[in-house]
Amino acid sequence: MRVLTGLQPSGKLHIGNYFASIKPMVENQNSGDNEMFIFIANYHAMTSNSDGLSLKESTFEAACAFLALGIDPQRSIFWVQSDVKEVLELYWILSQFTPMGLLERAHSYKDKVSKGFEPYHGLFSYPVLMAADILLYDSQIVPVGKDQIQHIEIARDIAAKFNHTYGEIFTMPESKTEENIATIPGTDGAKMSKSYKNTIDIFATQKTLKKQTSKIITDSTPLEEPKEWKDCNVFNIAKLFLDQSGQEELIKRYKSGEEGYGHFKMYLKDLIWEYFKEQREKFDYYVNNKSEVDEILQEGAVKARSIAKKNMLKIRELVGIY
């Protein structure tokens, strides 16, 4: 199966990115059962980052992070979205097959506008560019969180309209969601997102990591009383790093009434720090070896572009681009 996934370089990667997207992506890659297409979605990131220098730096940092966290360019096609310009051409062509009502019903757009995002066309038409990302490479499976399932449905609707007009050109993609980790909670209990400023960064310093975990919202249960673990933000983040026995041990500590939330936050900080120890070392290596990272990305772009060009030749002919 051909599996495609992308992640915006709109800031430092956080553990929500890792468990909802990167970890499953690496597992898919290493299973050997799938053909993996992985890209850094820098065009998409422009909807939330208008600072050119910042976006450029974030794109490089994201590439280093992907590689440090397990993306293997020998097993996967790994590139930067903007290195394959055909995606923008397809984005425009697909726009001719996208009803306004389809985009007006997009939950993500409404949610972001309600949280203060400017209602620009780029944000509104985000699902069309996402559809171009998916359809350009004949993607069969697209791993997403629950909040992105609607975007895959939109891509399918657009593909169906195009196929109805020109024949069975586009592969109909399917979304894949890991039910148990579909939405990773942030420090405030809402979905972890840079937009909501509730993240815990993967490659944070110990000082920053302590500050971020200390911000996790908890209830006011006194130190000496048992704590409720089921709806606790600290526990719901910590369990991502623990196996079944580790979770059971942490539950016992919650029920004992011998520790306060401050203890559990410190435990979580140490858990995260140790979990990503090896990845931090690799990240530092890639950050200090930019030419090696650039070469990896260019090799991936050549592979992705060869597929994109072949498909666009056929699509241009069908729609009459001279």
Residue appearing with tokens 């203060």: 116
Per the CB < 8 A criterion, the answer to whether 303 and 77 are in contact is yes
Assign 232 to helix, strand or coil. Answer: coil
Annotated binding site: which residue ranges?
8-10, 16-17, 133, 145-147, 184, 191-195
Annotated binding site for L-tryptophan: which residue ranges?
133
Per the CB < 8 A criterion, the answer to whether 80 and 41 are in contact is no
Helix (H) or strand (E) holding 90: helix 86-95
Distance from C-alpha of 255 to C-alpha of 273, rounded to nearest angstrom: 25
Annotated binding site for ATP: which residue ranges?
8-10, 16-17, 145-147, 184, 191-195
Distance from C-alpha of 167 to C-alpha of 135, rounded to nearest angstrom: 14
The residues near 107 (Cβ < 8 Å, ≥ 6 apart) are 147, 150
For the chain, the first-to-last Cα distance in angstroms comes to 34
Tokens at residue 214, please? Answer: 């200390």
Residues designated catalytic: 112, 191, 194
Please report the DSSP string for 16-43 in residue order.
Answer: HHIIIIIHHHHHHHHHSSSEEEEEE-HH
Distance from C-alpha of 228 to C-alpha of 241, rounded to nearest angstrom: 19
